[in-house]
Structure 1
């Protein structure tokens, strides 16, 4: 079964111009009819779903495109790099939570009077 760009956009909850952009940058391959209209077969819809999911988990469009590369090792390298980046962000968020939790619970009136706060501040 084939779908129009509007149908696919509505199904995925995105604007049609997003699908056009994905096609323009090579993240999506869509067949065209003789009149030039895009025709989304099941494969193209699944490819669009994959791009959307990759974008939603944090990959940039170039990263998502590369993660869908036919060569598995190239795709895995992109995904592994994103995992490492996200793990670093998790650590930074955990450190931020620990610092903020301490400051919220700190018994000192001013943070610069607290030795623990000073330790947090001196850490990179």
Structure 2
């Protein structure tokens, strides 16, 4: 059994973050006879899962849905996030390509470069 401070330090988050996760329903934590939160292995593992899902880009509502026992709900949330991340990768690669060209462009002004102009016209 660990305290909220112990778990927060172990996970590298602030205690208020764990309280918030509990408040919104992403984390279930038992209480002792005095009302203090006590984190058993199950609660710590659940907090680790919430943290990992947050770090890969899921919002708290998405985390809650992804952690529901119904596999189809979790699957839908995760596959939607995968599609969004893949789309983000495409956009970031396009940005890198454009910026690399502008860094290497021999034209003094980007408006003078036909390649830059074609990049700009792409949306």
* TM-score, with structure 1 as normaliser: 0.96
Q: How many residues align?
A: 123
Structure 2 partner of 1:22: 21
Structure 2 alignment gaps of length 5 or more? none
State whether structure 2 residue 9 is matched by structure 1 residue 10.
yes
* Aligned alpha-carbon RMSD (Å): 0.7
Displacement of 1:60 = 1.1
Structure 1 partner of 2:86: 87
Structure 2 partner of 1:69: 68
Q: Alignment partner of 2:107: what SS?
A: coil
State whether structure 2 residue 104 is matched by structure 1 residue 105.
yes
Distance 2:12 2:29 in 1: 18
Structure 1 alignment gaps of length 5 or more? none
Q: 5 Å matches for 1:51-62?
A: 51-62=50-61
Displacement of 1:85 = 0.6
CA deviations over 1:41-96 (Å, ceiling 9, x no partner): 10000000000011111111111111111101100110111111111110000000
Distance 1:82 1:115 in 2: 36
Where in structure 1 do 4 or more consecutive aligned residues deviate above 4 Å? Answer: none
